[in-house]
Amino acid sequence: MKDLTRGSVTKHVLAMSSFIGVSMVFQTMYYLVDLYFVSRLGKEAIAGVGLAGNLMLVVLALTQMLGVGTTALISHAAGRKDQPRAQFVFNQSFVLSLIVGAGVVVLGFLLRPAYCRWLGADPGTARAASNYLLFFIPALGAQFALVSMAAALRGTGIVRPTMIVQVFTVLVNLVLAPVLIAGWGTHHPLGVIGASLATLIALGVAVALIAAYFLKLETFVSFDRSQWRPDPKTWKAMLNIGLPAGGEFGLMGVYVAVVYGIIRHFGAAAQAGFGIGGRVMQSIFLPVLAISFAASPVAGQNFGARLGDRVRQTFFSAAAIGTGVMLLLTALCHLSPESLIRLFSPEAEVIAFGADYLRIISWNFVAMGLIFTSSAMFQAMGNSWPPLAASSLRLFIFALPAALLSLRPGFAIRQVWYLSVATVTLQVVVNLTLLNREFQRKLVFEAPPVLTPVSDPEI
């Protein structure tokens, strides 16, 4: 366990976010590597993989429900130095991850044909999406066990093992992608099916390696089959924190689906441009996501230790770091968005759609960084419902006007991007207002307890 209730809060955030950031960069490389080779198959393949990849947002919503609740409860227990409670929460989280992961796989295969027909711009795009999902759906199911184990480690302040595993498995995917997609060495290219198969194999390796770490090296939390009987009280506590956080990611999936539905009449090039732009934007968000993921256990342990000033300091440190990073990335998207899209598609129409999207939507970046950071603080304090309310408000005031705009003569896609910028600006104002209220409600403690010194190994 890494004790985050002592020492510099800013150093803890920077140290953890650096490891988490590297891990997330390599995790995202799964999809960027696949996208690079898939882009050589044509715009229908790009659009199909992008369409199928939207399901990743749905799974992110579900894994957030599991991961956020796990990290919060374990970080609170770690802050109180309550190892038995942390151990029990981890085992309950792991069992829940197996059940939900299996359900996602079954439901995914049942809904696959209808989903691809509904959102595909043309039969070629729908067929590519269906083929990609053949192995991508089992890969999504494998994510749950991986997230449960990684979240437990993060709650105890340990993030290095997860980073090492992510680096290794991305290398596996990097080797497999050209072989399975393009047929390098085998002369039997599998196309988009090969892309999803490479991802599935790489994720399987990741799950096996993290599980081996728990079995052989981890001591603060570990597998204990005697604690695998479902405990509704613990599940309820995890979901009460995680459900709203997952709901935020779910609303992002709804947002993307709404946009796909609006632009589908512009053809595969528009969907491909939006799909590539979305993947690039997800990559750009990685630094601030890493900062927010680090802020949550830092604030969570200090909240469990009843150290209110350190909880506030965690927010201000994370927000300042995130804002600086996002300002730099905003400038990058204004200077040369075409070059970012051109990495994944040589087609002029796709580049035009994708670059226009990045150039306009980049005005959101600082606001999104503050939204991620403030949401992490709500999670750390055990109440993630307020940011879900803010996200719901944002989607409500975006979806209907966007749909109405699309029906007007002379409608241009960029009108949707400008509307998105306006609604995100409103969301960040609501988030910060609610966070200030939560600080006033939750960070009033009678007196901090006397903490027992613990060992402080490397992250």
Is residue 452 domain-resident?
Answer: no
Rounded Cα distance, 277 and 271, in Å: 10
- Classify residue 327: in a domain, yes or no: yes
C-beta separation of 72 from 296 below 8 A: yes
Q: Would you place residue 127 in the very low, low, confident or very high pLDDT band (cuts 50, 70, 90)?
A: confident
Q: Which two tokens stand for residue 181?
A: 């997609």
456 in a structural domain: no
Q: Is 76 exposed, middle or buried (0-12, 13-18, 19+ CB in 10 A)?
A: buried
pLDDT (tens digit, 9 = 90+) per residue, 162-202? Answer: 889 888 888 888 889 889 988 888 888 888 888 889 889 98
Distance between CA atoms of 342 and 36, rounded to whole angstroms?
10
Residue 453 lies in a domain: no
pLDDT in tens, 199-228: 899 889 999 999 999 998 888 899 999 999
What's the CA angle centered on 67, arms 200 and 304, to 5 degrees? 155
Domain tally for the chain? 1
Domain assignment of residue 176, given as a range: 9-442
Query: pLDDT tens digits for 282-291?
Result: 778 888 889 9
157 assigned to some structural domain: yes
Cut 0.95: pTM above it: no
pLDDT tens digits along 29-62: 666 676 677 777 777 777 777 776 667 767 877 8
Residue 457, domain member (yes or no): no
**CA-CA distance, 68 to 295, in Å (whole number)?**
12
Specify the 3-state DSSP secondary structure of 142: helix
Whether 38 maps to a domain, the answer reads: yes
458 domain residue, yes or no: no
